[in-house]
Structure 1
Amino acid sequence: MADSTPQAAGLAQAASTSVPDQSGGTTSLLSLLGDNPYFGAGFGLLGVGAAMALLRQGAVRAGTLARRRLLVTLEIPSRDKSYLWFLQWMSSQGARTRTPHLSVETVFKQHENGTVYTEFSLVPGPGKHFFRWKGAWMQVERQRDGRLMDLTTGSPYETITITTLSRDRSLLSELLTEARARALARQEGKTVIFCSYGPEWRPFGQPRKRRPLASVVLDHGLKEHIVKDVRSFLDNGKWYLDRGIPYRRGYLLYGPPGSGKSSFIQALAGELGYNICLLNLSERGLTDDRLNHLLSNTPERSILLLEDVDAAFNQRAQSDKQGFASMVTFSGLLNALDGVAAAEERIIFMTTNHLERLDPALIRPGRVDMKALLGDASDHQIRQLFLRFYEGHEAKATAFVAACRERMAGGTRGVSAAALQGHFVFHRDNPDQALCQIDTLFQR
């Protein structure tokens, strides 16, 4: 018994030392990992990374919040009218705009005599620009979308974003108002010619100086009669509405080339303060739907001009069978002029050199309300044109008219107003020479 007790005690002691203590093992493992320099460095980096991520996320949220509270942005898409107004305004700021990105806009015009006129203007290009206006700093970012393009011009859609402090929010409206005023000031006293580009109207070239109505000489009383009718139409919109009459008016000017049809329309637009929307019915790709859309969405205060309408449609049967290069049918044109979907508050002028070629359905009342013949120059026109170039030479004007009548009485064809003007321009400093060389006028 004495021997067994010590032996059992030894076995028990051995057994107790052979069974590991789990809590002590975990503690020793953590102590071992804690003493490992690589683990300590990795754990430290992990903590630093997590802290940086939290700080970054907090900074982003703080920046977004500050931007919402402190900054305001204005977006101007290229489809908006104020887009070009703002670009023109910004280019006029000159040295006040700090920008390393510029684009060039070239105005090129070649005259008939061979001289060339070229003008370059630098405008802010794509990128970020900074400028100071009325004590406020503004950032302008011009961006181009390479995925979306205007199919009519091939140019990508653009967006201008203006950013400034929220306290200067009111300056954005003032800026756009000033840009609009400057753009309209450039057109003040001028006539804008619009042409169709796809489904919309766009200005063609630079605005032209308004032509004085007095510069166009028509037969006695004809000019005043047309102007009076147009003004009566514009002043009596309620009269049309009360009687259920479509508020639109159509005019047809016909006569030989050079009789002043287009010149008179341009002068009339200047007299009324209107612009001109020039539509070519022979334009390739023009369809009935697009024609109807264009006629229904003409710019405000504009005269719609269809020149040489006989060249597009001279016979209904020919047009309905094979159409024309523009794919506009005759019935499509008639519906666009006065169909159910035809626009109101519209003035249309048509011109033709051959009235007999037009289908009666095109020039019936309701589509054409007034027809006016602008033929060869009458005695009144010849005299007035002579006096416009040689003021005060009444006797020579009478002699010039008599000489013209004498030659036309002998079977010589009449002379157009354009030919007379060319003759007087050639002899602009010598009325006697213009009278002596009158035979060259009729030889042309």
Structure 2
Amino acid sequence: MAISDIVGGLADNPYFGAGAGLFGVGVLTAAARKGMQAGMILFRRHFMMTLEVSRRDKCYEWLLQWITNNTKHTQHLSVETKFEQLETGKVKTHFDFIPSVGTHFFSYKNTWIRVERNREPGSQGFNFEGQPFETVQLTAFGRDRSIYFDILERARKEALHKDVGKTLMYTAFGADWRQFGAPRERRPLESVILDENVKERIIEDVREFIATPDWYLERGIPYRRGYLLYGPPGSGKSSFITALAGELEYGICVLNLSDRSLSDDRLNHLMNVTPPHTIVLLEDVDACFVSREKPTEESSRAFEGLNRVTLSGLLNMLDGVVSAEARLLFMTTNHIDRLDPALIRPGRVDVKEYIGDASDYQLKGIFRRFYANVDDALAEKFVQKIRNKRSKVSMAQIQGLFMFYKESPRTMIDEGIDRLFNQ
């Protein structure tokens, strides 16, 4: 029997014809599916653009908040509760609704954008800060990247606009800096009364440093500046640094060297990732290290095992090979004699200023600050009575006295000073 006869017989068989038809339909369907998948991949590759932002990125929270503020049809929301302290002292509660995990759509400049917020499932999906690992993906038609630049820039400006006129405080958390508390109202520089010309000298030096980065670069000098404010407690060292940050429109990174989780490596890392336009503040450095030149048995026992940061690690952080550039650092201490000379040598501490007990100049200044409409004779009487009672007094003591006599300067002089020093 010829092959043509066999093929002809199969063609006349109805069972074979039905099977071949089904097979053909299956082949065509699979081919169409593969073609659609390949076409979608090519379409996404050539006609769509995706931006991915992870939680680790600085703009992650900015972007979520901007999407919330500029989209009105998002139905799946997550809530974030925030508190704001008003000038009256009351606390106002804010509820921010941000897009929850899932898919969302919004239109921006006549372009539809798909937002997909993803979260890693399970216990492995959390970082060391206890926050879930998340990403946000934005997908839009076209190849123009400027739409994403525009969105991110708008998100940044809106986020920073909320903090205009306020001082941001940062504290070390893990391997990065986290904003600590709500933004604070800037403290006026005039509210901190230091001895004559001390405040002006520091401010002038800081402004000159900020304005001359090219001078350091041209001479091969590391672009960093260190300041040490020393003196008795309550003299206004920390208050002045807070007011200075407000004057410069800077934030403050508070670094606690006594933190048991802080090591030399982590300290160096933190100093290299400080937020821009911030002052790094190390308070009471005498409470963390004992001078190697004048150690005592009592002080050595007191500081043994206090922290994991070594003096060598701190010195390398301040002026080592990997120390950070473009850095503005302030240290405070009540006992400069307890500090190791290597810690406060030039290059690590460039400017030292003594902030001492209240001088006559400061006493007059703070008196006029609290009681603006009094004559000079009353201010002189106040200073004279203070000196008759005590030759040394801190600005903190005087300010605390004024808090009991807000509107009564004469009563404060006649009764308050006696009560303060007779306690």
Which bracket does the TM-score occupy, shorter chain normalised?
Answer: 0.7 to 0.9
Total equivalences in the alignment: 413
- Give me the whole-angstrom Cα distance separating, in 2, the residues matched to 1:184 and 1:431: 42
Deviations 1:150-204 (A, max 9, x none): 6441212221111222176543222222112212222333222222222222322
Contact 1:312–1:324 (Cα < 8 Å) also in 2: no
1:81 aligns with 2:62: no
Q: Aligned match of 2:261 in 262, 285, 290?
A: 285
2:78 maps to what in 1? 103
- Return closer, same or farther for 1:172/1:250 CA change in 2, 3 Å cut-off: closer
- Return closer, same or farther for 1:166/1:243 CA change in 2, 3 Å cut-off: closer
- Return closer, same or farther for 1:339/1:209 CA change in 2, 3 Å cut-off: same
2:311 maps to what in 1? 330
Contact 1:252–1:371 (Cα < 8 Å) also in 2: yes
Deviations 1:215-244 (A, max 9, x none): 111112211122122223334444444554
Following TM superposition, by how much is the alpha carbon of 1:351 offset from its aligned partner in structure 2, in angstroms?
Answer: 0.8
- Return closer, same or farther for 1:283/1:117 CA change in 2, 3 Å cut-off: farther
- Return closer, same or farther for 1:355/1:101 CA change in 2, 3 Å cut-off: same
> Which amino acid letter does the alignment assign opposite residue 28 of structure 2?
A
Aligned alpha-carbon RMSD (Å): 3.0
Following TM superposition, by how much is the alpha carbon of 1:298 offset from its aligned partner in structure 2, in angstroms?
Answer: 2.5
Q: Aligned match of 2:26 in 49, 67, 72?
A: 49
2:349 maps to what in 1? 368
Give ranges in structure 1 of 5+ residues lacking alignment.
Answer: 1-20
Give ranges in structure 2 of 5+ residues lacking alignment.
Answer: none
Q: Aligned match of 1:440 in 389, 395, 419?
A: 419
Following TM superposition, by how much is the alpha carbon of 1:320 offset from its aligned partner in structure 2, in angstroms?
Answer: 12
Say which one has the larger Rg.
1
Q: Aligned match of 1:155 in 131, 140, 151?
A: 131
Contact 1:320–1:329 (Cα < 8 Å) also in 2: no
SS at match of 2:112: strand
Relative to structure 2, which stretch is displaced further, 310-319 or 172-181? 310-319
> Which amino acid letter does the alignment assign opposite residue 441 of structure 1?
L
1:124 maps to what in 2? 99
1:416 aligns with 2:359: no
1:276 aligns with 2:262: no
- Give me the whole-angstrom Cα distance separating, in 1, the residues matched to 2:326 and 2:151: 32
- Return closer, same or farther for 1:192/1:51 CA change in 2, 3 Å cut-off: same
> Which amino acid letter does the alignment assign opposite residue 323 of structure 2?
A
- Give me the whole-angstrom Cα distance separating, in 2, the residues matched to 1:126 and 1:103: 8
Q: Aligned match of 1:62 in 35, 39, 63?
A: 39
Deviations 1:230-284 (A, max 9, x none): 2233344444445544332221112222211111011112222222221111112
2:404 maps to what in 1? 426
The 5-angstrom pairing of residues 331-346 of structure 1 reads 331-346=312-327
> Which amino acid letter does the alignment assign opposite residue 386 of structure 1?
F
Following TM superposition, by how much is the alpha carbon of 1:408 offset from its aligned partner in structure 2, in angstroms?
Answer: 0.7
SS at match of 2:106: strand
1:182 aligns with 2:161: no
- Return closer, same or farther for 1:332/1:54 CA change in 2, 3 Å cut-off: same
- Give me the whole-angstrom Cα distance separating, in 1, the residues matched to 2:181 and 2:236: 22
SS at match of 1:376: coil
2:228 maps to what in 1? 252
